[in-house]
């Protein structure tokens, strides 16, 4: 994965991982090894560098242990996204602990005349690589744009997380759909007789 230091693809992978759990709806999209395989297939940024040689073969040897590790990582990523705006120091501690546990290692790479930093794990475990890439991407967003760019949807019936990479940094909702619902609800509230 290129430009892992601040890649919107990796940031989106972190958000998508956190949002595989929908606490208000009681939905969990990471209950089985097959669901984990589908998630990893849909997120090429989650693929360890050694698997890149497989030319898109996707994860083949996933176990229940891999699922448990990724679910634990999801809890950490979700907690970082939920806490960063209110308690950036705690969010940083969660990121640092997760990076240590994953064996994250920064690596300087180059191709032609282009250089970039990539954070990888010192193991071939999917969960360790996913932790190294997603947590380092969130750390980069906090360091470059600030902790207020990580958040939870303001929609009253939604707890989806987001990272705001926009220029003005004013995002409050996970999607336009949630923003539209809130806008319609506010309009109806103003128009209703009291």
The whole-number average pLDDT for the span 30-38 is: 96
The sign of the dihedral angle between the CA atoms of 42, 60, 36, 8 is: negative
Count Cβ neighbours within 10 Å for each residue of 109-142 and write b for 16 or more, e otherwise. Answer: eeeeeeebebbbbeeebbbbbbbbbbbbbbbbbb
The whole-number average pLDDT for the span 53-62 is: 58
Query: Distance from first CA to last CA of the chain, Å, rounded?
Result: 56
Instruction: Answer whether residue 58 shows pLDDT above 70.
Output: no
Burial of 146 (0-12, 13-18, 19+ CB in 10 A): middle
Give the H or E element holding residue 116: strand 114-121
Enumerate domains of the chain plus CATH numbers.
8-148 (1.10.3300.10)
Q: Coil, strand or helix: which one is 125?
A: coil
Q: What is the pLDDT of residue 190?
A: 77
Q: How many CB atoms lie within 10 A of CB 8?
A: 13
Q: How many CB atoms lie within 10 A of CB 91?
A: 22
Side-chain-facing half-sphere of 45: CA atoms under 13 Å: 25
pLDDT digits (tens, 9 = 90+) for 80-121: 999 999 999 999 999 999 999 999 998 888 888 988 788 888
Q: Any idea what DSSP says for residue 56?
A: S
Q: What is the pLDDT of residue 5?
A: 56
CA distance 75 to 69: 10
pLDDT digits (tens, 9 = 90+) for 124-174: 888 999 999 999 999 999 999 999 999 999 988 899 999 999 999 999 999
């Amino acid at each position: 994965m290129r430009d892992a230091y601040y890649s919107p693809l990796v940031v989106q992978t972190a958000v998508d991982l956190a949002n595989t759990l929908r606490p208000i709806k009681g939905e969990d999209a990471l209950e089985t090894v097959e669901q984990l395989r589908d998630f990893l297939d849909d997120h090429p940024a989650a693929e360890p560098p050694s698997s890149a040689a497989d030319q898109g073969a996707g994860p083949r040897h996933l176990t229940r242990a891999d699922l448990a590790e990724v679910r634990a990582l999801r809890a950490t990523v979700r907690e970082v996204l939920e806490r960063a705006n209110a308690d950036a120091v705690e969010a940083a501690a969660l990121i640092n602990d997760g990076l240590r546990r994953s064996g994250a290692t920064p690596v300087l790479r180059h191709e032609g005349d282009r250089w970039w930093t990539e954070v990888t794990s010192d193991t071939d475990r999917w969960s360790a690589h996913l932790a190294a890439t997603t947590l380092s991407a969130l750390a980069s967003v906090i360091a470059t744009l600030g902790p207020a760019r990580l958040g939870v949807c303001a929609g009253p019936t939604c707890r989806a997380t987001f990272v705001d990479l926009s220029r003005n940094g004013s995002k409050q909702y996970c999607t336009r759909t949630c923003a539209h619902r809130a806008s319609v609800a506010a309009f109806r509230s103003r128009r209703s007789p009291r």
